[in-house]
Amino acid sequence: MTTKLLPAALLAAAVGIAPAAAQTSTSSYSAAGKKAQVFTTAQGTNQRLAPGAALSFAPAGQPVETQVCVFVDPSHQFQTLLGIGGALTDASAEVFAKLPKAQQQELLQAYYSPSQGIGYSLARTNIASCDFSSGSYTYVADNDASLKSFSVKHDEQYKIPLIKQATAAAGGKLTLFVSPWSPPAWMKTNHSLLKGGKLLPEFRQPWANHYVKFIQAYEKMGIPVWGLSVQNEPMATQTWESCLYTAEEERDFIKEYLGPTLAKAGLGGKKLIAWDHNRDLLYQRASTVLDDPAAAKYVWGIGYHWYETWTTSGPLFDNERRVKEAFPNTNLLFTEGCVESFKFDQVNDWKLGERYGNSMINDFNAGTVGWTDWNILLDETGGPNHVGNFCFAPVIADTKTGKLIYTNAYYYIGHFSKFVRPGARRVATTTNRDWLQATSFRNTDGKVAVVVMNSSDKPQEFQLWIKGQAASTTAAPHSMATYVIN
C-alpha cells in the first residue's frame, strides 16, 4: 500500500505564509485573541499535513510540573531562515525524465508550490559526477589544465532541464548551491575519480578555475548559483567520487586559491561553504578554517551532514551548538542527509520521517539557517547509483507503473518547509517532556509556526503556552504537527 499525495485542495487550504513584509517587532508579542490552525501527519491514520480545527488561546497562569507544555517566546529571536529543500542530482533528474508528464507535473507541484505543495526554496546539485549518477563523468578533457575543453553538455540532457523546471515551479526563484565530489582524475594523487586521493599541488589553481567555469556555465544557461561548497565529504575515502582534504589543506586552498579566484572572477558574492561533511568533526574543521582570518574572510558558512551515525553514535547536535557559540557570525547549513540501505518493502516505515523530524528540530534549534535533503526523487531500487549505494528519498518513483510513492519523510519535511518560509526567524521554544520535541519560527508576515513532534507510542495532551496565554491540544502518537498562529 502506498501513501498518496494529499489532494491539492487540502494542501491549498493550509495557511499561506507571506514572503515579503519586513520583520515585525516582537518585544510585546501576545497570543491573546489569536487562533492556531493545526496541520497533522500521524501514524496509523490518513492524516498527511491534514488541517484540523483551529485552537483558541486563553489566559493561563503558572504551569505546574504535572502539566505538559510546549513553551514559545516570540520576543526572543535567533537565526533567519535561508530555506528548506533537496538535491537535484543526476539520479533524480534521470528518474524524473522517465515519469509520465502528468507525474512530472505532480512532483514539481508537490515539492515546489508553496500553496499546492510543500514549498521547497533551497536546492543543491553536484559539480560533475557523484555516486547518484548513472556513471562517472567530467567536464574537461584529460590533462587540459587550461580548461579550454570545459563543457557542461552532459548536464543538458537531464539535470539542467529539471533544475529549470523546479525553479519555475518554485515561482522563479530557487536558492541553489553546488558541490564537487572529485576533481578530474588527472588532477589527483591516485589518478582516479573514485576512492579518495588528494588534489595535486600543481593543479590547485586549475581546480579553483574549474569552480568559476562551472558557475559561469550554469548562469549563462539561466541558472543562478547562490553558493558553493569546497568539497563533498572531504574526510571520506568512498568507493565513488571522493577527494580528501585535511582541515589545514581545506583552509589553505580557500585562502590561497579558491577565495581569491572567485573574487577575481567577480564571483566574490557567492556564498562559500566549508566542511560539507558529518557533525562528528564539525567543530575541529570549523575552528581550523575560521580561526585563520585570511581564510575566514571568504567563508559564509559551515555545511554538515547527518551520517556520523555510521559509527553507531547518535546524532551529535551539540557540535553544531559549539560552532555557533564560538563563531556566532558564521552560518550553519545542513547540506545533506538521507536514510541509507534502501529496501522497497520499507517505504512506508514511519521511522523514515521521524529521523527527519528529530534532525530538523534539533538542527534548527542549534542555529542552522537552511536544511537540504539529499535526492528529491529516486526509483524503486533506491537509485540509479553507479556503485550500488542505494538510498531512500522522500518520494520514490515506481518506474514500472509510473506512480509516485510519498513516504512520510516528505510530509515530515513539509511540516517545516510549507509553514516556515525564507526570511522567518527562529524564536525561543522549549518543552518539558523529552518525547515532545519542538521548534518555532516567526514568519515575515508575523505568523508564528510551531512544529511539534511526538515520538512516543501514546497520545500526549499538552498546553501550547505563549507568555501567559495557552491553547490546549493533543499530539497523536508518532505524529508531527504544525501550529500556525495568526
| Active-site residue, from 233, 241, 250, 308 | 233
Q: Is 354 among the catalytic positions?
A: no
Q: Is 336 among the catalytic positions?
A: yes
Given the DSSP bridges, would you call strands 403-406 and 395-398 parallel, antiparallel or unpaired? antiparallel
* CA–CA separation, 259 and 143 (whole Å): 24
Cell of 342: 534502501
Which residues touch 9 (CB under 8 Å, ≥6 apart)? Answer: none
Q: Which of 194, 294, 267 is nearest to 236 (CA)?
A: 194
| Active-site residue, from 241, 250, 336, 354 | 336
CB contact at 8 A, 154 and 134? no
Given the DSSP bridges, would you call strands 448-454 and 122-127 parallel, antiparallel or unpaired? unpaired
CB contact at 8 A, 408 and 473? no
Query: Which H, E and C letters describe the chain, residue by residue?
Result: CCCCCCCHHHHHCCCCCCCCCCCCCCCCCCCCCCEEEEEEEECCCCCCCEECCCEECEECCCCCCCCCEEEEEEEEEEEECCEEEEECCHHHHHHHHHCCHHHHHHHHHHHHCCCCCCCCCEEEEEECCCCCCCCCCCCCCCCCCCCCCCCCHHHHCCHHHHHHHHHHHCCCCCEEEEEECCCCHHHECCCCCECCCCECHHHHHHHHHHHHHHHHHHHHCCCCCCEEECCCCCCCCCCCECCCCCHHHHHHHHHHHHHHHHHHCCCCCCEEEEEEEEHHHHHHHHHHHHCCHHHHCCEEEEEEECHHHHHCCCCCHHHHHHHHHHCCCCEEEEEECCCECCCHHHCCCCHHHHHHHHHHHHHHHCCEEEEEEEECEEECCCCCCCCCCCECCCEEEECCCCEEEECHHHHHHHHHHCCCCCCCEEEEEEECCCCEEEEEEECCCCCEEEEEEECCCCCEEEEEEECCEEEEEEECCCEEEEEEEC
Known catalytic residues are 233, 336
